[in-house]
Structure 1
């Protein structure tokens, strides 16, 4: 019976996973096509069953047959989390016409009661004469290794990084999706960010991504392998023109030499190192309309609010709870807690908040639950006033005011805490008149002045020394508090070792991705604190030069750069878990060496 229940539970989890999986409909354009070639175009529907497929003809190309339908399903358990996905592919086969630029019109399909559409995608048909040209004279093609010869100059349209924004204009606090994506026609052997893009004037919510070159995309009529390097949701904090500064990357691409082996030729891979900078993103942020209504605290989006009182009876000295729940889409993580007008006869505790969010596309949805605990101190009839929640809706460009009901409660007398017999006895003794001590009849003869005692002057001198010491310590502490750079430098090692403990936990759990991410965070954070420089300004060049100027040895500097390279390469190298012990040990040693280095 238990085994049967387990199967039912597992089936329910699979069903729920499929229900909440994200449905998408996309098109896969053809790779390099020449005049007269036969080529496929595939439309893929993920995590849903489709019907009523609508596909338009490609002008200038001849449809041979289609669609050919194929289905795929996969189920995977990673770290105890079940992931189930499915896809349906519709493939059409065409015959290429004359050379030129062509467009695949948008297609649509019905799935789960909703119609999904693809975007129009362009591709290029090349002249048949280009097929016979030497590889060095043909444009670099992601599927043509012959065009990726060693020594060939890597152009800016062969490998580049794009900052893609979901919108170019928005209001303050309105959510904007940002994707940083790598486009390449070459295979990548190593990828090292030397400067991350900066988001000045914005709060960001980063999303988990696993960079891998596993998607083909057509951009400006050319095919590229792509990898999403970073995804985040931006919440601009001020109006005006905001700029997302570009990032810098050191990339090693793979090119090939043709080596003559006598009877045959083999391709020998060669690495070519290039430097790539992303584009600069620009945002036009509109100010929120003025005047702002009373009660507006910065919530932007679309929300609803609800409140409820826990319990029906109220007594003095008994705690009660009022719960507010705000749900919606927008900057829910940065919404301020409502301020409730409680009667002065109520003792209030610090509100307890719980925020749950999830990302759908370029929007953040979720809820914020706030629990207000209060204790009535007096008997009588009381009213907890209604509250209003004001937010700005960027879709309607208007402020919306939501109100919650007022609560009328009747407080009865609760149980009083009894006073123990011991407490009463102490109170009675403290209230009695104490006995008067008469002392000696001749105090001038029986007592000696304290100032004539040696211990008095010893105590006086000790207090003087203690006072001077406290003044010196206080001045030193004030100086250290003002020296922000010095404090960060002094604490750099402690902060780094705490982060290394987190990396060690991921290493023991066998989670290589989180391990290398935590190692990089520990090392970059350590360098930022040690050198008093923001992480965004750190690079291998200024790390080496700055450490050298501070008197650190070249051996320590080289070891640090080597660990950074190992971590970055491992993030984009499959089966890197076997090197975690070595990388961790090197990271601990290099920090200890820098701390113990005599300058």
Structure 2
């Protein structure tokens, strides 16, 4: 028995020694020449060792859309053990040219192994072959509901499959970050596939994924193509009773571009940021009040635009009605019939200044991309009467009481001798002061003229720091109140507003995509440019990902230090 165990141990040790002597670290790719926006699979494999501290190379010219995917395999053939461990990546070619993928490294028993570098050539696709994509049995498209949009308008991006064969499954390998947009996935019940004729061929059309996009800044944005793995039946392999064998085939969507423009000019007074399709209704809580009381107007706004940029619309009521800053009672968002819809409820407090009969008609205006014009919705009219309140009566009685009692105070019968001012010391003293003040008044007038000739943009630039710090103070209050979304919006507005005033660049041109170029053109040092990008990126991620309160203090401190540092730079 002991002899048999010794033999087995000897065989195991000899196999381990054999494995150690055959350690290899290799790289393999499934193509050396690919088309731009297509993918290549790269796999790094360590043979006959576990390996530690795997470090991949830099994939210049490519974007990682999958991986690292790890796999391990062991085998025992003819009394010999072998093993391999792989690290796989799916890379999308984003640029044209030849690109060198450097060596990956891994450690085995404190010894470092590395792969050989490889070169992959990326070529431009033949336009004819791109047009012929619809001749395939299946392909995918990225379809935008609108290629030109206005800030706050809802745009739907639909990743769509066209197929003439049975597709078992699918997987989106990558997806854009949608920089400059607030995105909402449109999940819901999938509709039945529709049929469509393309080039005299019938295809089944199925939506794979829909995303609602809300533009936040003006500019032109491009979204990279998306790589989609499609699982189709593999006729070369036998299916079991419990499982159907499939093979993965990749298809790439078309790149898409969208232009975001600002709202058209001449908006009505009651326009407050809504773009899309809206409904509004309002109600008043009372029909009779006194001058001591107030009425409440509740306005409910429902629509398809970005709810967070829609504010309470201004109202043009009678000048004898004082309207206080409205409150937001609720804000809800839901996905319905393939679109995002929202509801926002505002409450106005209106206090009358005098008695009488009043009629009000609340208004809400929005911009309709369908009609290309501003639309105004009205509610009412609502009439109410205002009677005299107790406060005003008490005040009037007090005034009347003063008038009645004052004559009861007896006036003394003494007659005082009139004072002669002319020619006195007081007369000459006052005259001297007036004459002495004339030069100072003249100098003050010159100062006012000089200030009037100063370029308003220069004054705006000089006050940029004060305005930005004031905005950050608002952000700090929002942070203390736990208002996360409003806090990050105020951080963004503070930085964009400061740079707009300081650099004399219109605020409409301030967006995350162009800010680096603007700062570079204005000779702002690179370290400041990097800090601006970092703070804006954190704020945008927090807004889109509904982040918690962690990191708010850091963002506030970073924004304040950035503005103070830029002020020191600009004043040199």
Query: TM-score normalized by structure 2?
Result: 0.44
Query: TM-score normalized by structure 1?
Result: 0.43
Larger gyration radius, structure 1 or structure 2? 2
